[in-house]
């Protein structure tokens, strides 16, 4: 007698569980799948485009790439603590990378700084970027967006700069 009672309870629980699963699956299939809100954006701001054109005029014989990930040209050395150093350069972007056409050896990095570079978080990010580039042996030129140099000045800076170490 008690066995029939327990059997009935087990069947009841199984039916309720199955019904709950069916209802849940049905509700989930009716929901629209929502993706995170993404929108397109331009590769460069209008100021960065203007400066890019000045760079091309100043250095026509070189290849200039805008918006390059720092990790594309700087890597960490395999050693204890490597992850800490890798995290310092993760998600950082260089404004312009200047290369030799054909071999694409990096000649220099150019950063165009606006007023946002005075914020404490940006000052730290720039310091991390500067340190990584320096240790990796890359030349870095920084220009102020509000005092954008002429193509002649850029060319002179490149001519007078010491070669990459």
Give the structural domain span for 101: 46-160
pTM metric for this prediction: 0.73
Task: Give a yes or no: residue 36 inside a domain.
Answer: no
- 141 in a structural domain: yes
Structural domains in the chain (count): 1
Cβ neighbors of 44 (< 8 A, separation 6 or more) are 52, 66, 67
Q: Is 27 part of a structural domain of the chain?
A: no
Q: Please give the C-alpha separations between residue 20 and each of 13, 24, 117, 143, 160, in angstroms, as whole numbers.
A: 10, 6, 55, 64, 75
In a domain, 137, yes or no: yes
73, part of any domain: yes
- Model pLDDT for residues 114-165, shown as the tens digit of each residue: 888 888 888 888 999 999 999 999 999 999 999 999 999 999 998 876 665 4
Whichever domain contains 51, its CATH number is 3.90.1570
pLDDT digits (tens, 9 = 90+) for 64-122: 999 999 999 998 888 787 787 787 788 899 999 999 999 999 999 999 998 888 888 88
């Amino acid at each position: 007698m008690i066995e029939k009672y327990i059997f009935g309870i087990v069947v009841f629980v199984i039916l309720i569980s199955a019904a709950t699963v069916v209802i849940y699956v049905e509700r989930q299939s009716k929901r629209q799948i929502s993706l995170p809100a993404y929108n397109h954006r331009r590769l460069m701001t209008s100021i960065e485009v203007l400066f890019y054109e000045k760079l091309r005029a100043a250095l026509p014989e070189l290849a200039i790439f805008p918006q390059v990930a720092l990790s594309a040209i700087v890597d960490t050395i395999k050693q204890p603590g490597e992850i800490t150093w890798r995290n310092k350069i993760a998600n950082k972007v260089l404004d312009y990378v200047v290369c030799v056409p054909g071999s694409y050896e990096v000649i220099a990095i150019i950063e165009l700084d606006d007023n946002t570079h005075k914020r404490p978080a940006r000052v730290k990010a720039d310091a991390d970027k500067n340190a990584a580039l320096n240790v990796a042996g890359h030349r870095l030129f920084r220009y102020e967006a509000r005092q954008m140099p002429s193509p002649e000045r850029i060319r002179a800076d490149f001519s007078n700069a010491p070669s990459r170490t």
